[in-house]
Amino acid sequence: MAVIGIDLGTTNSLVACWRGGRVELIPNALGEFLTPSVVSLDEDGSLLVGQAARERLVSHPERTASCFKREMGTGKRCDLGGRSFTPEELSSFVLRQLREDAEAYLGEPVTEAVVSVPAYFAEAQRSATKRAGALAGLTVERLVNEPSAAAVAAHAGDGDADRVCLVFDFGGGTLDVSLVERFENVVSVTAVSGDNRLGGRDFDMAIVTGFCQDCGLDFDTLSRQQRELLLRQAESCKVALTTQKSVLMLYTGGENGTVSAELTNEWLIRKSADLFKRLTAPIRKVLLDSGTPPSAVDELVMVGGSSRMPSVRGYVARALGRDPASGVQPDTAIALGAGLCAGMKARAEGLRELALTDVCPFTLGIDVQNHADYSQPLMSPIIERNSVLPSSKVQTYCTSQDNQTLLTVNVYQGENRYAQNNTLLGSVQIHVPAAPQGEQTIDVRFTYDINGILEVDVAAKAGQTARLLLKSGDVSQAEAQRRMRELASLKLHPRDQEQNRAIIARGERLYAITVGELRSQVAAMLDWFQRQVAKQETLQIARAARRVSAYFDQVEAFTGEVELPDSMGDWDI
């Protein structure tokens, strides 16, 4: 059976597949690739999804829902015609429609999908997306971050050259920014950041607010139908401003009769000043987290329908000092990338050599005692944000009280210094022998995979062990056990891997046969490599191994009296 890739968007959704050696977008029943992410409940109790539902936003606002992606993973509910739905239920209706469109197009049943999500979605939002897939009759084992999908689509067929790419994914409801590197046929995400409350819809609202201010309208006193009409007008004006210098916005109704205002991109920038400031914060964060200066970015890829706005493109281009890459279709890039990822998951011919590594968007850790304030335990990070996935890391902790026999390990997700201000994911307990404070220690290992399964292993020095398995979404126990067996191979610390041990042994040998400044350089390079290994980041270690091996080649050539370049500055630590 086919595996499909789905771009589940705030405003529009798309579906794609890998077939016949290429990725294809799948049209809906109307022959369009874009299916509006809108759901409406008809008076007869039937559901409308897509364009038909979107048309009812103005005529039947009390029976129609949109932008529910923003509420994924929350306790909020939406009332449609007297019936209450969760955001994941509403999303499942869109997913089901896309699945049925795919089945009609492919002529076969579809039961599995790779679904794209904002890179900055937290665990609750990712779990809700998987539940939505299950409700739509789809197995969603793999979620792919939207900028990662766009990067795969943009880089497919680009060759093996190493590149650094900043992906600016600005959709209808969310903003994601990712720094992506291509390294020996691997598309690797280095850092992610974003704003799950900033999208094109916010610019629509800014247009409406500015229009109302200029025309003397009180938006809050308008009916829901009038508000939706104004928002629809604002969206149309925003789209028109991508190709026109100015556009006339009209509103008819209320005490003032018909009012109008001329809108330009300059007007939009003035009315949306706060939104533009928020656009650059995630860019700064990914560059800071990755240690990458703007000058080191080779390419700017802008995707998502809202990135078509000339004001947004110009603003981001100025911030980075480079123009966006041409040839990238903002509306379809993520769906095409999701389709490629679906082909990769199905091990399709032609994609077996392409690999995608993603990162953990939020820090994972446990709570530890705060000696300055015992009522507020601190967060101790184990897998930090932007760690490459899959990842397996371990930290050692000790008892905090005399004769302590029970340790409770609380697992959190988040960036706050205080554990209670982060999201509690689960807890596990382990018994240890009574001993003075600090004498009993435990090793806490987190193993986190690309499918959202976090395995927590706790091992005491005295031999006791405990385990906690946290699954994103409704993953079956059998699947979880299968993934646990697969994850077992990750639990070998990189410093113990044969290739790294061989490089360290080679450095120690070269240290033994050299003297003076060259010996010092070998020692410095060896120390640097061991520090990279200690970070437990697979991709960084692979790069470091390549660099160190090349340097050791030079040292061996030098000791063999082969002429070398005058400068070895490229290898300075």
Q: What is the pLDDT of residues 267-313, one digit of tens each?
A: 999 999 999 989 988 998 899 888 889 989 998 999 988 999 999 99
Q: How confident is the model at residue 456 (pLDDT cuts 50, 70, 90)?
A: very high
Mean pLDDT, residues 557-563 taken together: 56
Q: How confident is the model at residue 225 (pLDDT cuts 50, 70, 90)?
A: confident
- Fill in the DSSP letter of residue 433: -
Q: What is the largest CA-CA distance in the chain?
A: 93
| Lowest mean pLDDT segment, chosen from 249-258, 518-527, 557-566 | 557-566
Cα–Cα–Cα angle for 397, 403, 408, nearest 5°? 45
- Give dist(CA 390, CA 453) in Å, integer: 10
What lies within 8 Å, CB to CB, of 361 at 6+ separation is 119, 120, 121, 122, 145, 192, 385, 386
CA 289 to chain centre: 15
Q: Say yes or no to pLDDT of 259 above 90.
A: no
Q: Is the pTM of this model over 0.95?
A: no
pLDDT for 121 = 85
CA distances from 36 to 32, 237, 564 (A): 10, 18, 62
Token pair belonging to 98: 């896309």
Buried b (16+ CB within 10 A) or exposed e, 284-303: ebbbebbebeeeebebbbbb
Homologous superfamily, domain 2-198+276-359: ATPase, nucleotide binding domain (3.30.420.40)
Token pair belonging to 480: 């979880």
pLDDT for 224 = 85
- Give dist(CA 250, CA 17) in Å, integer: 42
514 within 8 A of 532, measured Cβ to Cβ = no
- Give dist(CA 12, CA 40) in Å, integer: 15
Q: Say yes or no to pLDDT of 458 above 90.
A: yes
- In the chain, DSSP finds a helix count (H) and a strand count (E) of 14, 27
* 261 membership: H or E segment, kind and range: strand 258-264
**Coil, strand, or helix at residue 188?**
strand
* Nearest in space to 411 (alpha carbons), one of 469, 481, 337: 469
| Lowest mean pLDDT segment, chosen from 214-228, 338-352, 358-372, 549-563 | 549-563
Q: Where are the domains of the chain?
A: 2-198+276-359, 364-486, 496-571
pLDDT for 275 = 94
Q: Which fold has domain 364-486?
A: Substrate Binding Domain Of DNAk; Chain A, domain 1 (2.60.34)
- Fill in the DSSP letter of residue 419: G
What lies within 8 Å, CB to CB, of 558 at 6+ separation is 518, 564
pLDDT for 561 = 36
User: Tokens 């190709």 sit at which residue?
Assistant: 243
Q: Say yes or no to pLDDT of 480 above 60.
A: no
The mean pLDDT value of the chain amounts to 85
pLDDT for 154 = 76
Q: Say yes or no to pLDDT of 572 above 60.
A: no
Mean pLDDT, residues 305-330 taken together: 88
Neighbours of 434 (CB within 10 A): 11
Q: How confident is the model at residue 250 (pLDDT cuts 50, 70, 90)?
A: confident
Pairing outcome for strands 406-413 and 391-398: unpaired
Mean pLDDT, residues 42-59 taken together: 85
- Give dist(CA 91, CA 9) in Å, integer: 10
Percent of the chain with pLDDT over 70: 90
For 440-499, the DSSP string reads: SEEEEEEEE-TTSEEEEEEEETTS-EEEEEEESSS--HHHHHHHHHHHGGGGS-GGGSHH
What tens digit of pLDDT does each residue of 366-386 get?
999 988 888 889 999 999 988
Token pair belonging to 518: 């060259």
Phi and psi at residue 401, to the nearest 5°: -140, 155
Q: How confident is the model at residue 543 (pLDDT cuts 50, 70, 90)?
A: confident
Bridge partner residues of 180 (DSSP): 165, 189
Phi and psi at residue 209, to the nearest 5°: -60, -45
Buried b (16+ CB within 10 A) or exposed e, 10-21: bbbbbbbbbeee
Percent of the chain with pLDDT over 90: 42
**Coil, strand, or helix at residue 169?**
strand
pLDDT for 30 = 87
